[in-house]
Amino acid sequence: SGSFDWRQYHTLDEINDWLRGLSDTYPEHVTIVDGGVSYEGRDIIGVKISYSPNNHRHTVFIEANIHAREWITSAVATFVINQLLGNDDPEIRHLAESYDWYIFPVFNPDGFAYSHTTNRLWRKTRQPYSVLCVGADPNRNWPYQWMQGGASNNPCSETYAGPSPLSEPSTLSLSSFINSLGFQIEAYISFHSYSQMLLLPYGHTTDHLDNYEELMIIGEQAIVDLEKRYGTQYVVGNIAETIYVATGGSMDWVKHEYEVPLTYTYELRDTGEYGFLLPAEQILPTALETMDSLVSIFKSYEILHPRGQNLVL
């Protein structure tokens, strides 16, 4: 106890204990935020990291492990938290201090716990839907374009969308937490694995909607900067064109509901050699290259959308 590192994967309790400890270590800058309670009664917690006393600041929201078996995603999310709090590199200080950050390392705590105790390859929630089949896909359960492609109405399917949008207690309560931030959200980042892709909205159509062109430009630079560290190659593109049609995803709902300018879904390492069972030795390199890409995304965004120019007297 007391130790948390990125040389191994951690359980839900270890992650949540570490998050709670951060608010004791950094009481000025870290607040535990309450994303509600899952079907099986687990707390869904995140951290708010803020270096400003003001509210209503430009906000970055990061979610990970909405799919239970994608363990690398919570490992990267906790690494990002640790960097924002503890790395004194000027680019990372700038990033940390320019936004209010809301980071939820485990969006699907019941599934995540089950993937540790019982079935390493579990994906969905743990709400039962038939005698034989348990869980809905929480990344097919959000209201925008719900059940409009790449989702199933069969409770036994791995992509079961649920009987109705937000049928899962976790997605329902997280959606109301996100509603409380609303139009403050300037960036929404969703971590998945695996495939080494940087995906942009939307999942229901190959059409290039909203600010597709700008997200492509920023994303192309981000994958160049990611590759610089270890040579890891990503591809960037919209979901429906690059991976497959998939509706009811969290990012798509947040993008559409709040016109969020910066929205990316990462499919982290690898490309299939280990897949969901990415060895723990790859946590640190994956986290470092991902951090490089995040720095790149915000650097590009700030060049394209300078802020506070008129304040110079």
Question: Which of ligand 0X9, Zn ion, none has residue 196 at its interface (CB below 5 to 8 Å by kind)?
Answer: none
CA-to-CA distance for 239 and 203, rounded, in angstroms?
5
Residues 45 and 104: beta-carbon distance below 8 Å: yes
Q: Give 225 or 267: the residue with its C-beta nearer to ligand 0X9.
A: 267
Our finding on whether 67 is near Zn ion (CB under 5 A) is yes
For residue 34, the surrounding DSSP H or E stretch is strand 30-37
Please, which of residues 5-64 interact with ligand 0X9 by CB under 6 A?
none
What residues contact residue 295 under an 8 Å CB cut-off, 6+ apart? 91, 92, 95, 225
Closest distance between ligand 0X9 and the C-beta of residue 253, in Å?
8
Residue 147 dihedral angles phi and psi, to the nearest 5°:
60, 30
* Contact region with ligand 0X9 (CB under 6 A), list: 36-44, 177-185, 243-251, 291-299: 243-251
Our finding on whether 246 is near ligand 0X9 (CB under 6 A) is yes
The catalytic site residues sit at: 267
Measured at the CA of 171, the angle between CA 32 and CA 295, to 5 degrees, comes to 55
What residues contact residue 33 under an 8 Å CB cut-off, 6+ apart? 45, 46, 47, 48, 102, 104, 177
Our finding on whether 140 is near Zn ion (CB under 5 A) is no
Tell me, residue by residue from 12 to 51, as one string, x for binding to Zn ion by CB under 5 A and - for no binding.
----------------------------------------
**Contacting positions for Zn ion (CB under 5 A):** 67, 192
**Contacting positions for ligand 0X9 (CB under 6 A):** 67, 70, 139, 192, 203, 239, 243, 246, 249, 251-252, 265, 267
